[in-house]
Amino acid sequence: MMSRQDQHAGPAAEAYQAGHDLIIHRSMSAEQIGEVITGVARHLQVYVAEAEDRANSRLEEFKAVVVERFTKLDEVEAKPEAFRDPDFQFALSQAQQAFVRRGDQELRDELVALLVKRSAEEPTSRRALVLNDAIATAGKLTREDRAALVTVFVLRHMSLNAPIRGPAMSALNGHLSLFLDDLPASVACVEYLIMLRCVFARQFGEDLANTLHSNYHDLCNAGFSGDAFREAIGNEDARKLSGILAPGPVAHSTFRFFMPPKADLHQELLARNLSEDAAGKLFALHQAGEPKPGEVELIMLREISALGRISEIWTSSGLSGMMLTPLGKAIAFSILVGVPVSTRR
């Protein structure tokens, strides 16, 4: 016989049913968030006696990490009010179950990162639906699958341009080193990720040199000398270029333009009230420093040690033809933000 689940909540509270009554006030405290997590966990499958202690321990571990993240004073991404949303509670339940089954701390941090992103989205938005799928899929991935997703995401889908090239290259090396020992050896990994709808495959692969050039040619721009810059800008006020002029690869003697990926530099120069002549000359300087595809690969192989191993398996593993879907991108991004910097090589 089902027990009655009558609920009474005051005007400043909301009532939920999660196997027992939950009264959640509009201002979500750590205790209230923890109560929702515990209530949702009651709906997980029943485990056999010898696994029950381990399952409960993992549930408590997951609860502690989620509560800590959602109640941090300096947290800006996590939205505690999401715990009132039934759809978010369902995603939370799937995340709990995935971690209970695996007990993998990397997966735990990845799932928490996905829950944080999900908490900021409207339940019916496409982004929320993709993140729901990512939470449901994350626990089905091996380290080899994660390695493939992160590697292709960083090299093909994550454009990066930074004011100073050295730190940017170090950051890229850190990302690519996460799963360097787990890179796929065959196309079986790509085939599995296709089945999970994380990726799709191009009919023809793209060699690594072209992939690197497409995303990182601006980062590898040779730049231009101070004398060439002064001649090009003429009588224009150099302060108009504040925020987009950065040191070149040779410190104190060269410069280059620092722009968001795929931005139109020439239009940006004109928008900063430079004359057509000065904008044209500065853009020509930038174009003259653009590296060829093979040059980008050589620069990055020299400055990113992890690329050497990746280049060896790029074609044979099928990574050369692998493109991430929105689901694959969401998972890859959550892996990158979920892994503590201290654990990277």
Q: pLDDT 10s per residue in the chain (345 long)?
A: 444 445 445 444 444 444 444 444 455 778 878 887 777 776 655 555 557 888 889 999 999 999 999 998 888 889 999 999 999 999 999 999 999 999 999 999 999 999 999 999 998 899 999 999 999 999 999 999 999 999 999 999 987 767 788 889 999 999 999 889 999 999 999 999 999 999 999 988 899 999 999 889 888 998 999 899 999 998 888 889 988 988 887 666 788 898 876 778 999 999 999 999 999 999 999 999 999 879 999 999 999 999 999 999 999 999 999 999 999 999 999 999 876 544 444
Instruction: Supply the pLDDT for residue 47.
Output: 54
Instruction: Supply the pLDDT for residue 22.
Output: 47
pTM metric for this prediction: 0.79
Beta bridge partners, 109, equal: none
Contact between 336 and 147 (Cβ < 8 Å): no
Q: What's the CA gap between 38 and 22, in Å, rounded?
A: 10
Instruction: Supply the pLDDT for residue 2.
Output: 42
First CA to last CA distance, the chain: 57
The residues, any chain, with a CB within 8 Å of residue 142's CB and separated by 6 or more, are none
Instruction: Supply the pLDDT for residue 285.
Output: 92
Q: Encode 21-46 in three state secondary structure.
A: EEEEECCCCHHHHHHHHHHHHCCCCC
Q: How many other CB atoms are found less than 10 A from the CB of residue 144?
A: 19
* Strands laid side by side in the 224-225 sheet: 224-225, 254-257, 245-247
Instruction: Supply the pLDDT for residue 48.
Output: 57
Instruction: Supply the pLDDT for residue 344.
Output: 44
